[in-house]
Structures are given as C-alpha cells and as structure tokens.
Amino acid sequence: MVLALFALFSALGSWAAWRRNPMYPTRSTLRGVLAVLLMIAALVAALVGVVNLAQRYSKTVALAIIFSFVIVASIAMILGIMAMTAPKVATLPPTVTMLRFHRKKLGLWAKRWVVSMLVVGILAFVLPGASEGIAYALGTVLGMLGIVMLVVGYFAARNQDRILTALEHQPWVHWQYSPAQWAAWTDAQVARAKAIPPAFSWRRHSWKIAALWLVIAAGTFILGLGWIYALVYATAIFALMVLILSLGARSERHSPETLRKKMERWAPEVFLGEEGVFCDGVLTPWVSTDDWLLEAILDEGLPRHLLLQFEKINAGNASIPTSRLEWRVPLPEAAEADLARLQKELKAKVPTAKVQIY
C-alpha cells in the first residue's frame, strides 16, 4: 500500500512538472500515454506467449528464452519511448560527417562493463558452495542490465551526436577564445565550484547515520534474528554507508580541480543555435522533455558572460518535482551583434523564457 501511494505521488509530481514544460500539449501527451499503454499491453501479451513456448524446453533453455525476451522487449520499449520524445533534428547534408563526441564516451562504460563481467565470472569459479550461485545471479543481472543500457545508450548517444553535428554545422553563434581568455574563464568556473558548500559533512550528518544504524539493528533484532546477527548486519550496512559517503565526499572535494582538468582538455569554443548550447563539453537543448530554458540574462561579473537558467524535471521525486540548473557562457570581445541575434532567436525559440541579453 505504501509503495502504491509513493508511486502515485511520484506520478502526480512528474505530471505537474511536465505541465510546466513549454513542450506540453494536452492532446499529444495523451497520445503518448496511450501509445505507452499499448506497448505495455503488447509486451505483456508477448511475454505470456514466450512463457508458454519456454515451457516446452528444458529449464536452462527456458530461462535463456525468457531472459532474451526481457532484454529485447526492454530495449524495444525504451527505444519506442525515445522515438516519441526525442527532439526533431534537421536532416544533415550528405557531405556532413556526424560527430562521435558522445559515442566515444560510451566506449569507456562498455569497457567497464566488460571488466565487471570478467570479475563476476572469476568469482563464480573461485567462490565455494552456495556463494557460487550469488555470483551467477549477480552476473545474470549485470549482464542483462549492461546489454540493455549499452544498446539504448548507443542510440541515445548517436542522437546526441546528430544534434551536436547539426548545431555545429549551422549555429546562430560560434564563439572562440584565446588561450588567455579560456584560462581566465577556467579560473572563474573553478572558483565558483569551490564556493559551493558541500552537500554532505560528517559534522552535520553523523548523528543521522548513527540513528539509521540503530534503526537497522533494532529492526533486525525485532524480526527475531538475534542480537548477534542484528549487530553484525547493522554494522556491515553502516560500514558500507560510510564507505560510499566517504568516496562521495572525497569526489566532491576534488570536483573543482577535476573541472579544471576537464576544461583544459576541451576546445575553447562555444556553439549556440537552434538545437541548443554546447559549452564546457556539455550539450544542452533549449527545450526538451527533461528541461527547458527559463531565463537568459547578461552577467557583467568578470569574466563577462551569459547566465542561462533551466528548469529540470526530477523524475520520481514527488517532494521536489523540478530543480534549477545554471549554465554560464563566456562572452568574447565585440559580441554585441551576436547578442542582438541571440535575443531575437531565443525569444522565437522559447517564447515562455525571460530573455534579456541585449
């Protein structure tokens, strides 16, 4: 019952956030919901048929058939939803070669997945007795998730590369910066990152972690598993939480310098066009199903730059359905004519946004 209410409130929160999106039209939204429901119904019917078919074979073959169907069905479902929600991109001329910026990033995750599968495979041979089954179960889940996410990720990355190619082919504005200008901008971005207070600190959150440890230990003891098991189980969970939080805090402390290293690798240029903005190695559309432009203003703080504020849907978060995102775009010298065009183009592209840059 609690999970059903949580799912309901999450859905209502997401719906309320989606209604604020400039892309929201009631008719096409209802069509999209109906299409998703029809896909789910078709997949359920197909699953029933596959299960009936699998019963004719041995257990091993039957599981292979069912798992294969789940993988293919999941990929088809996700790609179908992506096809309905992906922004339309103008057809690229035959002479234009599509960039591979996002697909190159996917290669790193593919390598990590392969290494993870090899580690799990080694554990399946090394671990004794019942522990071997845990390794096989983990390998099955990791394998299925990896295949689905890599296939879907490839098509998503390809779509992003197509958008980025179109943006760089016909931008509204293409700004390039000298090494000195980019170094000054990098210093400014790193300084802003350092000024952000950490989301987690041991001083503020240690009592919450201790309270959670007590709750886990008490709950395990109440279930009748004994105080020794409760103590060991709660301590193991506590140690895992401390490890995760420590790694997160460490990553957060080093994030400004990580940002500096990334910006030093990126090309000192910015593209703004019909498809969105590409700055600091990140492609952001003006309007998508996930986020949309709220405000574009001129920030006279040195280095002089554009401040772009977006609203982002927090899917599944009923308490905070949306959040604000900020992107800062450095201005080159003598950018007044470009700002006049951006003012005009952005007002036409996102009429609901507040645009005051010229």
For the chain, 358 residues long, the average pLDDT of each consecutive 10-residue run is 47 55 62 78 86 85 88 89 76 87 89 88 72 74 90 92 92 93 90 79 72 73 66 73 77 83 88 92 87 90 89 68 85 88 93 89
Last residue of a domain, one of 33, 66, 86: 86
Asked if the structure places residue 187 within a domain, the reply is: no
Note the pLDDT of residue 21.
61
Look up the domain containing 48 and give its range. Answer: 1-86
Asked if the structure places residue 214 within a domain, the reply is: yes
Note the pLDDT of residue 11.
53
Asked if the structure places residue 184 within a domain, the reply is: no
If asked whether residues 30 and 70 sit together in one domain, one would say yes
Give the amino acid at 114.
V
* Local structure of residue 287 (DSSP, 8 states): B
Asked if the structure places residue 185 within a domain, the reply is: no
Give the 3-state secondary structure of residue 311.
strand
Asked if the structure places residue 189 within a domain, the reply is: no
- Residue 356, classified by CB atoms within 10 Å of its CB into exposed (0-12), middle (13-18) or buried (19+), is exposed
If asked whether residues 286 and 355 sit together in one domain, one would say yes
Give the 3-state secondary structure of residue 357.
coil
If asked whether residues 286 and 356 sit together in one domain, one would say yes
If asked whether residues 273 and 318 sit together in one domain, one would say yes
Asked if the structure places residue 321 within a domain, the reply is: yes
If asked whether residues 353 and 277 sit together in one domain, one would say yes
If asked whether residues 1 and 78 sit together in one domain, one would say yes
Helices (H), 86-130: 101-126
Last residue of a domain, one of 242, 265, 288: 265
Note the pLDDT of residue 2.
41
Asked if the structure places residue 182 within a domain, the reply is: no
Note the pLDDT of residue 4.
46
Note the pLDDT of residue 171.
94
Q: How many domains does the chain have?
A: 4
Q: For residue 30, give every residue at least 6 positions away whose Cβ sits within 8 Å of its Cβ, in sequence order, or none.
A: none
Asked if the structure places residue 186 within a domain, the reply is: no
If asked whether residues 272 and 358 sit together in one domain, one would say yes
Last residue of a domain, one of 86, 121, 137: 86
Distance between CA atoms of residues 216 and 235, nearest Å: 9
Note the pLDDT of residue 255.
84
Note the pLDDT of residue 149.
92
If asked whether residues 260 and 273 sit together in one domain, one would say no
User: Omega before 94 cis (within 30°)?
Assistant: no
If asked whether residues 287 and 338 sit together in one domain, one would say yes
Note the pLDDT of residue 54.
84
The answer to whether residues 308 and 327 touch, using CB atoms and an 8 Å cutoff, is: yes
